């Protein structure tokens, strides 16, 4: 057996269709993609993004509780809205909505992790007690989505250095990191501190 674990195979993702998506921040174009596994992802674009110039972009992992149910346990919903507003103000940009709930463990396991957090575990400890790594997301799928959109260089709205490293390793030029620090509140204060301390997120108190 090899002493080094083999990397996961490159994900295969196919473009399906596009449509207009009017939102409070303007009319975006929504592009649908599907992996071989059947997992679906979307990208929202505003303005001309395939002109060769760096594009303001957000890689946003699905968070049903934060994005749709207004949870204060995380900052995800706040980041989603702030990113769309920033793209709208810029008049040009892309938001990749990746279906990787709970940092990749899925919605039901995320609920189990939240139960452990209710008992005192932090967000990393909860995932590990369930037998999962702290973060299981695979940002390589963004490479194929960006390539389809004609985007070769990005200004990424993120606090997560892993996203930057993954994009660069996939051949996407990251010309700038744009901080996206919003939504801190008493319910997510420990969560954000843990992401900074254990996952390396670049956050200010």
pTM: 0.90
What percentage of residues in the chain have a pLDDT greater than 90?
65
C-alpha–C-alpha distance, residues 193 and 187, integer Å:
12
What's the whole-number mean pLDDT along residues 148-160?
A: 94
99 is catalytic: no
Q: 93 has which bridge partners?
A: 46
137 is catalytic: yes
Give residue 1's pLDDT.
Answer: 44
Average pLDDT, the chain: 90
Residue 117 has pLDDT above 90, yes or no: yes
> Of 67, 75, 135, 143, which residue is the catalytic one?
135
Q: Structure tokens of 201? A: 């997120």
CB 103 within 8 A of CB 127: yes
Residue 79, marked binder? yes
Q: Structure tokens of 158? A: 């993120």
Residue 146, marked binder? no
DSSP string computed for 66-118: IIIS--SSSSHHHHHHHHHHHHHHHT-EEEEEE--GGGGT-HHHHHHHHHHHH
Q: Structure tokens of 7? A: 């990397």
C-alpha–C-alpha distance, residues 68 and 76, integer Å:
10
Which residue would you say has higher pLDDT here, 104 or 202?
Answer: 104
Q: Structure tokens of 81? A: 């809205």
Residue 56 has pLDDT above 60, yes or no: yes
Helix axes 161-169, 141-148, angle to 10 degrees: 60
Residue 19, marked binder? no
Q: What is the pLDDT of residues 3-42, one digit of tens each?
A: 555 667 778 899 999 999 999 999 999 999 999 989 999 9
Go through the domains of the chain in sequence order and give each one's CATH number: 11-99+136-197 (3.40.50.10990)
Q: Roughly how many angstroms between the first and final C-alpha of the chain, as a whole number?
A: 45
Residue 99 has pLDDT above 90, yes or no: yes
Residue 123, marked binder? yes
What's the whole-number mean pLDDT along residues 140-169?
A: 90
> Of 75, 122, 137, 143, which residue is the catalytic one?
137
- Name every residue whose Cβ is closer than 8 Å to that of residue 169 and which is 6 or more positions away in sequence: none
């Amino acid at each position: 057996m090899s002493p080094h674990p083999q990397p996961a195979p490159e994900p295969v993702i196919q473009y399906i269709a596009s449509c207009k998506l009017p939102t409070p921040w303007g009319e975006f174009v929504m592009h649908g993609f599907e992996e071989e596994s059947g997992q679906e992802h979307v990208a929202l674009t505003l303005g001309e993004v395939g002109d060769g110039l760096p594009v303001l972009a957000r890689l946003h992992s699905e968070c049903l509780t934060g994005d749709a149910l207004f949870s204060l346990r995380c900052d995800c919903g706040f980041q989603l809205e702030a990113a769309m507003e920033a793209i709208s103000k810029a008049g040009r940009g892309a938001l990749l909505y990746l279906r990787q709930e709970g940092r990749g463990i899925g919605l039901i396991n995320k609920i189990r992790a939240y139960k452990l957090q209710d008992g005192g575990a932090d967000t990393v400890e909860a995932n590990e007690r369930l037998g999962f790594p702290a973060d299981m997301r695979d940002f390589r799928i963004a490479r194929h989505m960006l390539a389809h959109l004609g985007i070769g260089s990005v200004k990424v709205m993120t606090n997560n250095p892993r996203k930057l490293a993954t994009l660069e390793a996939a051949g996407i030029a990251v010309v700038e990191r744009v901080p996206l620090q919003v939504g801190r509140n008493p319910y997510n204060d420990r969560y954000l501190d843990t992401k900074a301390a254990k996952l390396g997120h670049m956050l200010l108190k």
